[in-house]
Structure 1
Protein backbone atom coordinates (compact mmCIF):
# COMPACT_ATOMS: atom_id res chain seq x y z
CA UNK A 1 0.00 0.00 0.00
CA UNK A 2 1.22 3.50 -0.79
CA UNK A 3 2.49 5.50 2.15
CA UNK A 4 0.15 8.37 3.12
CA UNK A 5 1.74 11.68 4.14
CA UNK A 6 0.06 14.96 5.07
CA UNK A 7 0.66 18.15 3.11
CA UNK A 8 -0.40 20.07 6.20
CA UNK A 9 0.85 18.27 9.32
CA UNK A 10 -1.65 20.26 11.43
CA UNK A 11 -4.61 19.04 9.36
CA UNK A 12 -4.27 15.49 8.03
CA UNK A 13 -6.83 14.38 5.46
CA UNK A 14 -8.59 11.91 7.76
CA UNK A 15 -9.13 14.72 10.31
CA UNK A 16 -10.64 16.77 7.48
CA UNK A 17 -13.33 14.10 7.04
CA UNK A 18 -14.80 15.26 10.37
CA UNK A 19 -15.77 18.64 8.89
CA UNK A 20 -19.10 18.26 7.13
CA UNK A 21 -18.83 20.54 4.11
CA UNK A 22 -19.10 20.60 0.38
CA UNK A 23 -18.56 20.78 -2.42
CA UNK A 24 -14.91 19.87 -1.92
CA UNK A 25 -11.81 19.21 -3.98
CA UNK A 26 -9.47 16.34 -3.16
CA UNK A 27 -5.97 17.18 -4.39
CA UNK A 28 -3.79 14.10 -4.09
CA UNK A 29 -0.17 14.34 -5.18
CA UNK A 30 1.67 11.06 -5.70
CA UNK A 31 5.42 10.47 -5.82
CA UNK A 32 5.78 7.61 -8.31
CA UNK A 33 9.20 6.16 -9.19
CA UNK A 34 9.64 6.29 -12.99
CA UNK A 35 9.78 2.52 -13.31
CA UNK A 36 6.37 2.25 -11.60
CA UNK A 37 4.50 4.89 -13.62
CA UNK A 38 2.85 2.51 -16.08
CA UNK A 39 1.71 0.11 -13.34
CA UNK A 40 0.51 3.06 -11.23
CA UNK A 41 -1.64 4.32 -14.11
CA UNK A 42 -3.30 0.91 -14.50
CA UNK A 43 -4.13 0.75 -10.79
CA UNK A 44 -5.23 4.39 -10.71
CA UNK A 45 -7.57 3.86 -13.67
CA UNK A 46 -9.25 1.00 -11.81
CA UNK A 47 -9.70 3.19 -8.72
CA UNK A 48 -11.00 6.09 -10.85
CA UNK A 49 -13.67 3.86 -12.41
CA UNK A 50 -14.79 2.80 -8.93
CA UNK A 51 -14.88 6.40 -7.65
CA UNK A 52 -16.87 7.64 -10.66
CA UNK A 53 -19.66 5.23 -9.69
CA UNK A 54 -19.85 6.43 -6.07
CA UNK A 55 -22.63 8.72 -4.78
CA UNK A 56 -21.45 12.33 -4.54
CA UNK A 57 -18.67 12.02 -7.13
CA UNK A 58 -18.52 15.01 -9.51
CA UNK A 59 -15.29 14.89 -11.56
CA UNK A 60 -11.68 13.74 -11.66
CA UNK A 61 -8.53 14.75 -13.53
CA UNK A 62 -5.03 13.30 -13.32
CA UNK A 63 -2.01 15.51 -14.05
CA UNK A 64 1.66 14.64 -14.59
CA UNK A 65 4.57 16.85 -13.54
CA UNK A 66 6.72 18.28 -16.33
CA UNK A 67 10.46 18.08 -17.06
CA UNK A 68 10.87 14.46 -15.95
CA UNK A 69 9.05 14.96 -12.64
CA UNK A 70 8.04 11.83 -10.75
CA UNK A 71 4.89 13.51 -9.44
CA UNK A 72 1.33 12.86 -10.54
CA UNK A 73 -1.61 14.79 -9.11
CA UNK A 74 -5.24 13.77 -8.94
CA UNK A 75 -7.81 16.58 -8.62
CA UNK A 76 -11.26 15.24 -7.79
CA UNK A 77 -14.42 17.17 -7.02
CA UNK A 78 -16.98 15.70 -4.61
CA UNK A 79 -20.35 16.96 -3.39
CA UNK A 80 -19.28 16.61 0.25
CA UNK A 81 -16.71 15.31 2.70
CA UNK A 82 -19.25 12.67 3.73
CA UNK A 83 -19.44 11.29 0.18
CA UNK A 84 -15.65 11.18 -0.17
CA UNK A 85 -15.22 9.57 3.26
CA UNK A 86 -17.79 6.89 2.41
CA UNK A 87 -16.02 6.07 -0.86
CA UNK A 88 -12.58 5.96 0.82
CA UNK A 89 -13.91 3.79 3.65
CA UNK A 90 -15.56 1.20 1.43
CA UNK A 91 -14.01 -2.28 1.59
CA UNK A 92 -13.69 -2.39 -2.21
CA UNK A 93 -11.69 0.85 -2.31
CA UNK A 94 -9.49 -0.32 0.58
CA UNK A 95 -8.68 -3.55 -1.30
CA UNK A 96 -7.69 -1.53 -4.38
CA UNK A 97 -5.59 0.86 -2.28
CA UNK A 98 -3.69 -2.12 -0.85
CA UNK A 99 -2.55 -3.02 -4.39
CA UNK A 100 -0.35 0.09 -4.71
CA UNK A 101 3.36 -0.59 -4.05
CA UNK A 102 4.94 0.49 -0.76
CA UNK A 103 7.42 2.82 -2.47
CA UNK A 104 4.66 5.18 -3.67
CA UNK A 105 3.90 8.18 -1.48
CA UNK A 106 0.52 9.89 -1.51
CA UNK A 107 -0.11 13.43 -0.23
CA UNK A 108 -3.92 13.87 -0.10
CA UNK A 109 -5.62 17.04 1.11
CA UNK A 110 -9.18 18.35 0.97
CA UNK A 111 -9.93 21.89 -0.15
CA UNK A 112 -12.96 24.16 -0.49
CA UNK A 113 -13.27 26.64 -3.32
CA UNK A 114 -13.08 30.30 -2.43
CA UNK A 115 -14.10 33.22 -4.57
CA UNK A 116 -11.35 35.64 -5.62
Structure 2
Protein backbone atom coordinates (compact mmCIF):
# COMPACT_ATOMS: atom_id res chain seq x y z
CA UNK A 1 0.00 0.00 0.00
CA UNK A 2 1.32 3.40 -0.96
CA UNK A 3 0.50 6.50 1.11
CA UNK A 4 0.18 9.84 -0.65
CA UNK A 5 -0.64 13.23 0.85
CA UNK A 6 -3.85 14.77 -0.40
CA UNK A 7 -2.65 18.25 0.64
CA UNK A 8 0.90 18.83 -0.57
CA UNK A 9 1.39 21.68 1.95
CA UNK A 10 0.30 19.68 5.01
CA UNK A 11 1.16 15.97 4.98
CA UNK A 12 -1.02 13.53 6.89
CA UNK A 13 1.78 12.88 9.38
CA UNK A 14 1.80 16.59 10.29
CA UNK A 15 -1.98 16.57 10.68
CA UNK A 16 -1.72 13.70 13.16
CA UNK A 17 0.64 15.76 15.32
CA UNK A 18 -1.80 18.67 15.79
CA UNK A 19 -3.75 18.45 19.05
CA UNK A 20 -7.47 18.81 18.30
CA UNK A 21 -10.91 17.85 19.38
CA UNK A 22 -13.12 15.74 17.15
CA UNK A 23 -11.68 15.10 13.68
CA UNK A 24 -12.99 13.49 10.53
CA UNK A 25 -10.67 11.18 8.63
CA UNK A 26 -11.45 11.15 4.91
CA UNK A 27 -9.37 8.41 3.33
CA UNK A 28 -9.45 7.98 -0.43
CA UNK A 29 -8.40 4.52 -1.56
CA UNK A 30 -7.53 3.90 -5.19
CA UNK A 31 -7.91 0.22 -6.03
CA UNK A 32 -6.08 -1.44 -8.93
CA UNK A 33 -8.26 -3.21 -11.51
CA UNK A 34 -9.52 -6.60 -10.37
CA UNK A 35 -8.58 -6.20 -6.71
CA UNK A 36 -11.75 -4.66 -5.26
CA UNK A 37 -12.87 -7.80 -3.39
CA UNK A 38 -9.44 -8.27 -1.84
CA UNK A 39 -9.26 -4.61 -0.81
CA UNK A 40 -12.75 -4.75 0.71
CA UNK A 41 -11.68 -7.77 2.77
CA UNK A 42 -8.54 -5.96 3.97
CA UNK A 43 -10.54 -2.84 4.78
CA UNK A 44 -13.02 -4.85 6.86
CA UNK A 45 -10.13 -6.22 8.96
CA UNK A 46 -8.69 -2.71 9.42
CA UNK A 47 -12.06 -1.20 10.19
CA UNK A 48 -12.87 -3.81 12.84
CA UNK A 49 -9.59 -3.02 14.60
CA UNK A 50 -10.10 0.75 14.38
CA UNK A 51 -13.75 0.62 15.36
CA UNK A 52 -12.78 -1.22 18.58
CA UNK A 53 -10.04 1.31 19.36
CA UNK A 54 -10.68 3.92 22.06
CA UNK A 55 -11.73 7.20 20.48
CA UNK A 56 -13.33 5.89 17.30
CA UNK A 57 -16.83 7.32 17.04
CA UNK A 58 -17.89 5.95 13.64
CA UNK A 59 -16.73 4.80 10.25
CA UNK A 60 -18.45 4.42 6.89
CA UNK A 61 -17.06 3.15 3.60
CA UNK A 62 -18.28 4.58 0.27
CA UNK A 63 -17.64 3.40 -3.29
CA UNK A 64 -17.79 5.49 -6.41
CA UNK A 65 -20.72 4.75 -8.71
CA UNK A 66 -20.74 3.28 -12.22
CA UNK A 67 -18.09 0.63 -11.47
CA UNK A 68 -15.56 3.04 -10.00
CA UNK A 69 -12.44 1.63 -8.37
CA UNK A 70 -12.28 4.40 -5.78
CA UNK A 71 -13.32 3.91 -2.17
CA UNK A 72 -13.72 6.66 0.39
CA UNK A 73 -13.70 5.89 4.08
CA UNK A 74 -15.12 8.57 6.38
CA UNK A 75 -14.32 8.00 10.05
CA UNK A 76 -14.98 10.26 13.03
CA UNK A 77 -12.50 10.26 15.91
CA UNK A 78 -12.60 11.95 19.31
CA UNK A 79 -9.20 13.56 18.65
CA UNK A 80 -6.04 13.31 16.62
CA UNK A 81 -4.39 11.76 19.68
CA UNK A 82 -6.79 8.80 19.72
CA UNK A 83 -6.47 8.32 15.96
CA UNK A 84 -2.68 8.52 16.12
CA UNK A 85 -2.55 5.96 18.92
CA UNK A 86 -4.69 3.49 16.94
CA UNK A 87 -2.93 4.23 13.62
CA UNK A 88 0.55 3.73 15.08
CA UNK A 89 -0.35 0.52 16.94
CA UNK A 90 1.92 -2.27 15.65
CA UNK A 91 -1.09 -4.60 15.33
CA UNK A 92 -2.84 -2.11 13.03
CA UNK A 93 0.34 -1.52 11.02
CA UNK A 94 0.63 -5.28 10.47
CA UNK A 95 -2.98 -5.46 9.28
CA UNK A 96 -2.48 -2.48 6.95
CA UNK A 97 0.45 -4.29 5.35
CA UNK A 98 -2.04 -6.92 4.14
CA UNK A 99 -3.43 -4.78 1.31
CA UNK A 100 -2.57 -5.92 -2.22
CA UNK A 101 0.24 -4.22 -4.07
CA UNK A 102 -0.70 -1.15 -6.06
CA UNK A 103 -3.30 0.23 -3.64
CA UNK A 104 -2.91 3.97 -3.09
CA UNK A 105 -4.34 5.68 -0.01
CA UNK A 106 -4.72 9.41 0.53
CA UNK A 107 -5.73 10.05 4.14
CA UNK A 108 -6.76 13.55 5.21
CA UNK A 109 -7.98 15.00 8.51
CA UNK A 110 -10.50 17.78 8.81
CA UNK A 111 -12.77 19.44 11.34
CA UNK A 112 -16.37 20.53 10.99
CA UNK A 113 -16.86 24.18 10.06
CA UNK A 114 -19.78 26.35 11.11
CA UNK A 115 -21.45 28.39 8.38
CA UNK A 116 -24.22 30.56 9.73
CA UNK A 117 -27.65 29.42 8.63
CA UNK A 118 -26.23 26.34 6.91
CA UNK A 119 -24.34 24.04 9.32
CA UNK A 120 -22.82 23.88 12.78
CA UNK A 121 -19.27 23.00 13.83
* CA RMSD, Structure 1 to Structure 2 (Å): 0.8
Q: Where do 5+ consecutive residues of structure 2 fail to align?
A: 116-121
Q: Could you tell me how far apart the structure 2 residues matched to 1:101 and 1:3 are? A: 10
Normalising by the residue count of structure 1, what TM-score does the alignment of the two structures yield? 0.96
Deviation of 1:102 (Å): 2.3
Q: Which has the higher contact order (CA 8 A, sep 6+)?
A: 1
Q: Could you tell me how far apart the structure 2 residues matched to 1:96 and 1:79 are? A: 22
1:24-83 superposed Cα distances (whole Å, 9 cap, x missing partner): 000000000231100111111011110111010000000000122110000000000000
Q: Could you tell me how far apart the structure 2 residues matched to 1:102 and 1:56 are? A: 30
Structure with greater Cα Rg: 2
Q: Could you tell me how far apart the structure 1 residues matched to 2:113 and 2:100 are? A: 35
Q: Could you tell me how far apart the structure 1 residues matched to 2:92 and 2:99 are? A: 12
Q: Could you tell me how far apart the structure 2 residues matched to 1:22 and 1:111 are? A: 11
Deviation of 1:99 (Å): 0.8
Moved over 2 A (4+): none
